[in-house]
Structure 1
Amino acid sequence: MAQPEDAPQQTPSHSRPKPLSRASSYLQFAPRRAIESFENLVALANHKERLKEARKIVWRDRGEPVAEMEDIWECIEHAGRGGMRAGAIAFTLRASVNIVLAMLRFGKVPREMRSTLIRHAIFGQDSFRFGAMLGCSFVTLYKLILNVLPILLPTRPPEPPPTPFEDSEDEVECLPNHTTPPRRVRFSLSAHAQQVWVRKKTPLWHAALAGAIAGSIAVMFEKQSRRIAIAQQMFVRGLQGSYNAASFKNGFHLPHGEVLLFCLCCAQIVHGLFCRPDTLARSYSTWLSTASGAPPSALDMVRDMNRTSTFDVHDIDAILRREDLIPANRTVLLASKVLASGNPPDFGPYIPCNAIHPWVESCLQVPLPRFMTVFKWAFPIYGALHFLPMFLFKWKTFISRPMTMLGKAGLGTTRSAAFLAAFVASFQSWVCLKHYLYDVLSAQKVLRMPQSIIDLFVSKYSYGLGGFFGALSILIEARRRRGELAMYALPKALESAWLTARGKGLVFKTGKVGEALLTAVAMGMVMCIYQNDPQHLSGLVRRILYQFIGPN
């Protein structure tokens, strides 16, 4: 039977449509691959979240809110977590520094001892001491005491001032109008965190007490040789923050205060170098003596003259044996030796300038060569201080603007080396100048000054005055570095002044608790400023404390 024309023709089941000669204009959907891609995206997102959480353990983000605690147990838990985190970070930092220092010694250590050196750098006593000092003691105790005190000793909130709806207009008009100066917020937190910080202020004595107790206990975990250095540095940082807070609150400012402070510190340090070298650290005294360029025997003669008004003749013999001694200076030194060896001996009011610069006769030929010598000696030292931080902490900026960064570092190195060279050259010029002034004023017959004023030029205090004038060379340095140089010199000057006063019986002896007592005072000041007005601390101290402690 014939089929109708419009009936569909049956095709065999095994037949397939012919492939198209062009690419398809639609996306072919593969469910299995799509699910795998979605799972990969979810895994990647989870991985990023885990990395973000791990980063928070190591690095505290800006704008972290204040932790609110209701009972003592929450305070203990909060302090314990913060202490363990701080201890781990401190241990890692100290171990990393030790590894770098150990690698610098590889050239002097046999190959078979290098692994032992690295192992000791990581798991040595220093790493555990540093971690225990910062984490297990200071951060834990500070967080615990600071957050427990408001719970144990709650303070009443201040009563709001009366409103016009409650009091008469006359009483309202008599109310004092308290105005406060606008706050200048400079610490690196978000705007919300700044507002929370300002509103969550603690009483001053809470932070001071917590810092004092935690600091005095924490410093005992370090070696005894390092305790005094830590206490001194924190003490001057506390003084810096207290001064900034007081000056901002009272509205006064001392122009060039950092320059004046540095000059006073240098006056005390130079006085200690030439009168009481035992009040300075041995390494620091040696560094200053090397920078001066004067023969060591001449420095010993100056110290003996300041203490006993005599000097050892053997020191002149040591200078006479120098190869760079010129004949004219040899004649003067031999004459001085003869007078000092006579009966009775005559040492004169001061040692001859020929002993201080035996390679040149005229004092006028000393400053410029001394400036160039010290500049060449100090340039690589300050070069490391200016270039290394740029490579370590500003690498991205250096890659984007290499010539600008190199120019800034080179200019900073030049200014720093010129500052030290000018200091040494000006001080050495002062030593020769005061001897010349003493001779000129002593020879005056008509307008003769009082002898006490003339003797001041050859007294031991004249060296401190020269240190004050020489320190004015800090004006060569960049303004932002003057404060740091003053903070570097202040603890050394304070230690020298304290030991000098203690030798004269003017102050008491602190014994074995001196480091803990000084650290308690220092950390009390630092934490009081940090918790209430952190913008008055230096940026470095503020950032370090924030990473280890946080808002509270």
Structure 2
Amino acid sequence: MPESSGNDPSRDEDPAATHMVASASTASIISITSEMSVAEKDRLPLASHLAKAAQTGASNFVLAYNVRAGIALLSRIVQLIQNRKFRDLVNLNSLLSEKHLNFRVEAVSMGLFIGCFTGGYEALQAVLRKLRPDLPAATRTVVSGIVAGSGILCLNPSRRRSLALYTFVRALQSVYNIAKARKLWHFWGSHWPHGDALLFGVASAQVFAFILRPEILPKEYFSFIHRAGPVAMRVLQFTQRTLRGAAVEPADVIRFLDDKASPVVYNIAHNHPESLPCSLIHHGSASCTLGFGMTFWKAARRTFPLYLSLNIVPRVVLDLHRFVKAYVVITFIHGHGWYKSYRGRPVTTVLKGTWGGVRSTAFLGTFVALYQATVCVQKLMFRSDSKATYFVAELALYVLPRALDLLYITLRDKRVLAEMAYGEVMLFACSMGTLMFCFEVHQDLDDD
């Protein structure tokens, strides 16, 4: 598998970065909707509301920028430690070089997006409350959420689609939870213990649908899977050719193994094998068991810097005033129980973030290693590769929300539907309107 580039180590992990955007946005939404009661909001003049909205947008811009910058910096530090380049840690030119920390444009666009949405939402709520006091709160919330959702235009177009789909799923989840809580409607089996894990297992099959059709996945998504997964690009190509009945030249396979200095011996002499050996996937070792461990370690080593950053930086930046306050208290009462205070806030924050990073890394490493183990078992049980093995993954591509996305693409390509300019912006805006309605109007309902 190719090594990751020397650029920002957190840049290629687009799904995680998208989740971070949504998490920061959620934190900001909560902060602006829970500070004042409805009566307090009604007493303030419109100018005060607009000034407060501008302040909210500006502060959330700074928070989002700092979160993105902090993630990039911490990922760079962990990467240097992993590579044993300790001198670069104290060399600011190397540590903070644009070559390795290429995050500024993305951080600014992310800050503008979150700032525009949170500040715009609060401003629109105030304007509608003053100009149309007879408007129901639910309608005012939905309209404000939809209009403020246009702030997604501040993001790069390549990120809008993923974030819109992610938000759409959250909106569907919120509506479903409300309907279920009110006993209006629910899915069969939704009350099962660990049903969420079962749903994740079924939906995750789409992750490896790239075995047959890698072009159907977004470029960043495919890149993330390829870097974290156990399948090398050449092995992926060999597998695709085998499943399609094309020739796989033994010389090409042997050359690949030689390039990787692999101990695996390829013994198939003809160019139309029924099945490729699973040892091509774990080509670092001929043993499936040892290959399982090597795959886990490789996936964990590649993703730990990102997950550590995602778990620590938002905790510190989004609650910076408490973190700094605890540090000042430590300095002031040095010699009078300072260890207890120090342990109570900054150290606890870092330890919780580190533990979260370890858990996330262990999850992804286990997920990838179990996928490889499943392939090894399938190779032992069946003599030939079958498309049925990957058919479940292909079907899983049609779960929501990816199903709607692919259905639209298919109908558009067949000229059944016309191209919809800024369709992802409209989807995101409507989804945010739904989310804000669920948050503002149905705060009393617990998430099932």
Range into which the TM-score falls when normalised by the shorter chain:
0.5 to 0.7
8 A Cα contact 2:208 2:393, kept in partner? yes
8 A Cα contact 1:294 1:356, kept in partner? yes
SS in 1 for 2:38: coil
Matches of 2:144 and 2:431 in 1, distance apart?
A: 12
**Match status 1:65 vs 2:48:** no
AA aligned to 1:92 is V
Match of 1:310 among 243, 246, 250: 246
Q: What residue is the counterpart of 2:171 in the other structure?
A: 238
Greater shift, 350-359 or 61-70, is seen at 61-70
- What are the ranges of 5 or more consecutive residues in structure 1 without an aligned counterpart? 1-58, 154-201, 341-345, 443-453, 469-489, 539-552
**Match status 1:461 vs 2:391:** yes
Q: What residue is the counterpart of 2:361 in the other structure?
A: 417
Cα offsets for 1:128-157 (capped at 9, x unmatched)? 844773366444334434664443x5xxxx
SS in 1 for 2:360: helix
Over 3 Å counting, the alpha-carbon distance change for 1:109 and 1:209 in structure 2 is: same
Cα offsets for 1:335-373 (capped at 9, x unmatched)? 1xxx32xxxxx353x433242233433545532443344
8 A Cα contact 1:89 1:131, kept in partner? no
TM-score (normalised: structure 1): 0.54
8 A Cα contact 1:238 1:523, kept in partner? yes
TM-score (normalised: structure 2): 0.65
Match of 1:361 among 270, 282, 286: 286
Instruction: Quote how far apart the aligned CAs of 1:533 are.
Output: 1.2
Q: What residue is the counterpart of 1:276 in the other structure?
A: 213
Matches of 1:387 and 1:416 in 2, distance apart?
A: 12
Matches of 1:420 and 1:103 in 2, distance apart?
A: 22
**Match status 1:140 vs 2:70:** no
8 A Cα contact 1:530 1:537, kept in partner? no
8 A Cα contact 1:269 1:493, kept in partner? no
Matches of 1:376 and 1:310 in 2, distance apart?
A: 35
Q: What residue is the counterpart of 1:330 in the other structure?
A: 266
Over 3 Å counting, the alpha-carbon distance change for 1:517 and 1:109 in structure 2 is: same
Q: What residue is the counterpart of 1:260 in the other structure?
A: 198
Q: What residue is the counterpart of 1:227 in the other structure?
A: 160
SS in 2 for 1:431: helix
Over 3 Å counting, the alpha-carbon distance change for 1:232 and 1:360 in structure 2 is: same
**Match status 1:501 vs 2:407:** yes
Matches of 1:403 and 1:96 in 2, distance apart?
A: 20
Matches of 1:125 and 1:385 in 2, distance apart?
A: 18
SS in 1 for 2:382: helix
SS in 1 for 2:141: helix
- The percent identity for this pair of structures is 24
Instruction: Quote how far apart the aligned CAs of 1:431 are.
Output: 1.2
Over 3 Å counting, the alpha-carbon distance change for 1:428 and 1:99 in structure 2 is: closer
Over 3 Å counting, the alpha-carbon distance change for 1:282 and 1:108 in structure 2 is: farther
Matches of 1:222 and 1:387 in 2, distance apart?
A: 24
**Match status 1:528 vs 2:437:** yes
AA aligned to 2:246 is T
AA aligned to 1:515 is E
Matches of 2:96 and 2:431 in 1, distance apart?
A: 43
Over 3 Å counting, the alpha-carbon distance change for 1:400 and 1:414 in structure 2 is: same
Matches of 2:313 and 2:41 in 1, distance apart?
A: 43
Greater shift, 501-510 or 411-420, is seen at 501-510
Q: What residue is the counterpart of 2:18 in the other structure?
A: none
Matches of 1:391 and 1:494 in 2, distance apart?
A: 34
Which has the larger Rg?
1
AA aligned to 1:210 is S
Match of 1:81 among 39, 42, 51: 51
Matches of 2:283 and 2:194 in 1, distance apart?
A: 38
SS in 2 for 1:293: coil
- What are the ranges of 5 or more consecutive residues in structure 2 without an aligned counterpart? 1-30, 77-91, 327-340
Cα offsets for 1:113-139 (capped at 9, x unmatched)? 9xxx99x969x9638844773366444
Aligned 1:31-180 pairs, distance under 5 A = 64-67=36-39, 77=47, 80-97=50-67, 106-108=92-94, 126=109, 129-130=112-113, 133-134=116-117, 137-145=120-128, 148-151=131-134
8 A Cα contact 2:32 2:118, kept in partner? no
Over 3 Å counting, the alpha-carbon distance change for 1:464 and 1:533 in structure 2 is: same
Instruction: Quote how far apart the aligned CAs of 1:310 are.
Output: 2.6
Greater shift, 139-148 or 421-430, is seen at 139-148
8 A Cα contact 1:529 1:537, kept in partner? no
Instruction: Quote how far apart the aligned CAs of 1:426 are.
Output: 1.3
Matches of 1:107 and 1:286 in 2, distance apart?
A: 29
SS in 2 for 1:357: coil
